[in-house]
Structure 1
Amino acid sequence: MSNILRKEMYLSASVLSYFFILFGLMFFLPGYPILCGPFFVTLGIFQSFQSAREANDIVFSSLLPIAKKDIVKGKYLFACFIEGCALMVMFVAVVLRMTVFSSIAIYRHNALMNANLFALANAFVIFGLFNRIFICGFFKTAYKFARPFVFFIVACFIVILMAETLHHIPGLTNLNAFGFHNITLQFILLIIGIFIYLIMTLLSCKKAIQYFEKIDL
Structure 2
Amino acid sequence: MTTANRRVRVAATAAAAVALLAGCGGTAEEDATQSSVTSDSSASGSETSEAMGSHKPDGGPPPEGIEEASSPTYPIGTKVTLTADHMPGMNGAEATISGAFDTTAYSVSYTPMDGGERVTDHKWVVHEELENPGEAPLAEGTEVVLNADHMAGMAGAEATIESSTDETVYMVDLTMDGMKMTNHKWIVESEIQPAE
TM-score by length of 2: 0.27
- Structure with the larger helix share: 1
TM-score by length of 1: 0.25
- Structure with the larger strand share: 2
The structure with higher relative contact order (CA 8 Å, sep 6+) is 1
Larger radius of gyration: 2
